[in-house]
Amino acid sequence: MWTRKGGLLIFLGTFSIVMGLILSDFQLMILALVIFTFFLLVLVMPRPDIKVLRKTTNTTLFENDDLQVDLKIDKVQQGFGTVEIFDRIPEYAELQEGINHMIYNPQESQTMEYSLQFPVRGYYSVGPTFARISDHFNIFYHDQVVHEKEPIAIFPHVAGLNEFKFTSKKNIHYPGEFLTPQAGASTEFYHIRDYIKGDPFKKINWKVYARKRELMVNEYEKENICDSLVFLDARNNTNIGSVVKNTLEYNVKLALAVSNFLIMHRNQVGVVVYNDEIKVLPPKPGIRHQNEILRLLTGVYAKGWTDLNIALQYAKPFMRSKTTLILISNLEYDQTFLSSVEWLSAFGYRVIIISPSAIRFELNFSEYAGPLSKFDLFRLGRENFIRELRNLGASVIEYSPEDPIDEILELFSKEILR
Question: Which CATH number characterizes residue 297's domain?
Answer: 3.40.50.410
- Is the residue at 119 inside a domain? yes
- Is the residue at 165 inside a domain? no
pLDDT at 273 over 90: yes
- Is the residue at 161 inside a domain? no
Show the domain range for 128: 52-155
Q: Is the pTM of this model over 0.85?
A: no
- Is the residue at 170 inside a domain? no
- Is the residue at 162 inside a domain? no
- Is the residue at 169 inside a domain? no
Whether 201 and 280 map to the same domain: the answer is: no
The percent of residues in the chain predicted with pLDDT above 90, rounded, is: 30
Whether 329 and 249 map to the same domain: the answer is: yes
Q: Which of 138-142, 179-183, 233-237 has the highest mean pLDDT?
A: 233-237
Whether 32 and 146 map to the same domain: the answer is: no
Whether 312 and 332 map to the same domain: the answer is: yes
- Is the residue at 147 inside a domain? yes
Whether 62 and 116 map to the same domain: the answer is: yes
Whether 271 and 141 map to the same domain: the answer is: no
Whether 219 and 274 map to the same domain: the answer is: no
Q: What pLDDT, on the 0 to 100 scale, is given for residue 19?
A: 84
pLDDT at 225 over 90: no
Least confident of 115-129, 131-145, 217-231, 337-351: 217-231
The tally of domains found in the chain comes to 4
Whether 256 and 344 map to the same domain: the answer is: yes
Enumerate long-range contacts of 378-384, CB under 8 Å, 24 or more apart. Answer: 382/331, 382/357
- Is the residue at 302 inside a domain? yes
Whether 262 and 386 map to the same domain: the answer is: yes
Whether 346 and 382 map to the same domain: the answer is: yes
Whether 30 and 64 map to the same domain: the answer is: no
Give me the CATH number covering residue 122: 2.60.120.570
Whether 70 and 37 map to the same domain: the answer is: no
